[in-house]
Structure 1
Amino acid sequence: MRLSVRHETRYRFDPPLAHGLQRLRLSPKETHGQQVREWRMKLAGGRVEASYEDHNGNHVTLVSLDPGTAELAIACTGLVDTADRAGVVGPHTGRLPLWVFATQTPLTRPGARMRALIAGLGADRSDRLALLHALSRAVLEAMAYAIGHTDSQTGAEEALAAGKGVCQDHAQVFIGCARALGVPARYVSGYLMMNDRIEQEAGHAWAEAHVDGLGWVGFDVSNAISPDARYVRVASGRDFAEAAPVTGISFGAGRTELSVSLAVEQQAVQQ
């Protein structure tokens, strides 16, 4: 499947910034079942200082904001070919050893509620794939999808206690529980082509867990499926903080307004 992506992120600063740096993880990764045909990034209000690959293998663009800028606009467009591999990404590769993804972070660390959720799983613990599917169902049953109850700083245990969250929260609860079960897991940010719309309000997030014999396998807890050809992987890490599309620092900022425009749709492939 060939997917067209148009993603614009716009920041407005009042008063204008004296100085700012942004770390962008907005360029998709070449991976099993995914080929980037073209990808362009345009900036207004800033300039590219460096591009590099981080320790998770993510494409990172470091951007400095123009002194005195009142608005930063980041526009990404591209075409990505994807395939349905039933969620299987494949063997572990990269700079980090697999055991790193079995260690908890402040955003994924389990508390009493996550431990209780793990204890309630009825799946055979010897069948790792079945156990992970059972975990995905249990997380979704325990947490309704609801916007506005969590933010980027909300940890998995806190989100589970609230019983409400978004894809970021579902993924981090799943990851923290999987690690508590001894299964390496990681967070993935990217795009999902929706069946009922082209224009969307935000990107998407899901989890991947490592299964012997298969490698990394994806679990989209929020949609109760494993990722298929409608998904574009952009960045991954131990939690949201390591795979966030945009992070940064600024000086002289007062009020900041953020607006996002995103469109994902299928394109015809010419033979």
Structure 2
Amino acid sequence: MKLRISHETTYGYDMPIRNLVQSLRLTPSVFEGQKTHEWLIEVTNGLKGPGFRDGAGDWVEGWTVRGPVQEITVRTSGHIETRDTAGVLRGHREIIHPLAYLRDTKPTAPDEALRELAHSVDGSTDDALDLSHRLSSAVTDAIAFRPGVTEAHTTAAEALALGEGVCQDHSHALIALARLRGLPARYVSGYLHSTLDGQPHDAAHAWAEIHVGGLGWVGFDAANRCCPDERYVRLGSGLDSSDAAPIRGVAMGSGAERLDVAVHVEEIAQ
């Protein structure tokens, strides 16, 4: 599938800021399931710094903006060709050992309800792929997809208690369950071409990857009860949503910040 992607993030401040420093994980991953034909990152009045590939195999760029300034826009656009690998992350080069992803973080820390759900799922690590599918289905059944009921800092435990959430909550919950069953798991940020009508749609998305012996990392999208296929574009990964955030930064100033995000993915005619 050939996809055209545009991603625009605008930061507005009620008082001018002096400087902004950002770390951008906005370049598509390099693996067998996707090929980047064209990709551009622009930051309003930004100065591009050095880039590097981190231990997880993600490309990270540093940008700075010198003020005073009251509005900054980060624009990303490009063309990606994808193919279905049944969720398996083949050909992705990284050096972090999978066992590092057994560590809990605040968004994925388990409570008693998460522990009960994790151990209620039949299966064993002897067949880690089957167990991973069962854990993902358990999250789908336990947390209904409903935008607006959770926020950026909602934890997996809180989302499970609510019984509702969005893809971030499904991903955190699945990561928590997998780690409780001894399976390394991590958070993935990216894009999803969610419809087939050829029109652009809001399409920022997130899912989880679980490390399965013999296969490596395998993606599971509990929000949509499936594994990532050719509709998905992978950007980067981390222990949780904050660790895998496409944009992280620090602004020097005392004013309040406003954030507007627009993401569109559309299929290009073959």
TM-score by length of 1: 0.93
Q: How far apart are the structure 2 equivalents of 1:29 and 1:69? A: 32
How many residues end up aligned between the 2 structures? 269
115-124 or 226-235, larger mean C-alpha shift: 115-124
User: What is the aligned partner in structure 2 of residue 258 from structure 1?
Assistant: 259
Query: What RMSD, in angstroms, separates the aligned Cα atoms of the two structures?
Result: 1.8
User: What is the aligned partner in structure 1 of residue 72 from structure 2?
Assistant: 72
Contact 2:87 2:218 in 1 (8 A): yes
C-alpha distance 114-92 of structure 1, shift in aligned 2 (>3 A): farther
User: What is the aligned partner in structure 1 of residue 108 from structure 2?
Assistant: 108
Matched, 1:229 2:230: yes
Contact 2:22 2:62 in 1 (8 A): yes
Q: How far apart are the structure 2 equivalents of 1:253 and 1:50? A: 28
Q: How far apart are the structure 2 equivalents of 1:214 and 1:91? A: 11
Q: 1:50 Cα shift? A: 2.4
Matched, 1:246 2:250: no
48-57 or 2-11, larger mean C-alpha shift: 48-57
User: What is the aligned partner in structure 1 of residue 219 from structure 2?
Assistant: 218
Contact 2:13 2:258 in 1 (8 A): yes
Q: Secondary structure at the match of 2:179?
A: helix
Q: How far apart are the structure 2 equivalents of 1:89 and 1:157? A: 28
The Cα offsets for residues 117-159 of structure 1, whole Å up to 9 and x where unpaired, read as 1122134553221211111111111111122232332222222
Contact 2:14 2:70 in 1 (8 A): yes
Instruction: Tell me which amino acid in the other structure corresponds to 1:104.
Output: D
Q: Secondary structure at the match of 1:78?
A: strand
Q: 1:196 Cα shift? A: 5.1
Instruction: Tell me which amino acid in the other structure corresponds to 2:63.
Output: V
Q: Secondary structure at the match of 1:107?
A: helix
Contact 1:45 1:69 in 2 (8 A): no
The Cα offsets for residues 192-248 of structure 1, whole Å up to 9 and x where unpaired, read as 001156433451000111112221111011011101001000011121122101111
User: What is the aligned partner in structure 1 of residue 154 from structure 2?
Assistant: 154
Contact 2:211 2:218 in 1 (8 A): yes
Identity level (%):
41
115-124 or 104-113, larger mean C-alpha shift: 115-124
TM-score by length of 2: 0.93
User: What is the aligned partner in structure 1 of residue 30 from structure 2?
Assistant: 30
Q: Secondary structure at the match of 1:90?
A: coil
Superposition pairs of residues 141-180 of structure 1, within 5 angstroms = 141-180=141-180
Instruction: Tell me which amino acid in the other structure corresponds to 1:252.
Output: G
The Cα offsets for residues 40-72 of structure 1, whole Å up to 9 and x where unpaired, read as 112214222222222322111212122111111
Contact 1:32 1:90 in 2 (8 A): yes
Superposition pairs of residues 82-93 of structure 1, within 5 angstroms = 82-90=82-90, 93=93
Q: How far apart are the structure 2 equivalents of 1:92 and 1:31? A: 5
Unaligned runs of 5+ residues in structure 1 are: none
Unaligned runs of 5+ residues in structure 2 are: none
Instruction: Tell me which amino acid in the other structure corresponds to 2:103.
Output: T
Q: How far apart are the structure 2 equivalents of 1:144 and 1:89? A: 27
Q: How far apart are the structure 1 equivalents of 2:24 and 2:261? A: 14
193-202 or 105-114, larger mean C-alpha shift: 193-202
C-alpha distance 85-7 of structure 1, shift in aligned 2 (>3 A): same
Instruction: Tell me which amino acid in the other structure corresponds to 2:131.
Output: L
Superposition pairs of residues 117-132 of structure 1, within 5 angstroms = 117-123=117-123, 126-132=126-132
Contact 1:135 1:174 in 2 (8 A): yes
Instruction: Tell me which amino acid in the other structure corresponds to 2:109.
Output: R
Q: How far apart are the structure 2 equivalents of 1:218 and 1:245? A: 18
Contact 2:3 2:79 in 1 (8 A): yes
Q: 1:82 Cα shift? A: 0.8
Q: How far apart are the structure 1 equivalents of 2:135 and 2:235? A: 24
The Cα offsets for residues 68-93 of structure 1, whole Å up to 9 and x where unpaired, read as 11111111111111111111113774
Q: Which runs of 4+ in 1 moved over 4 A?
A: none
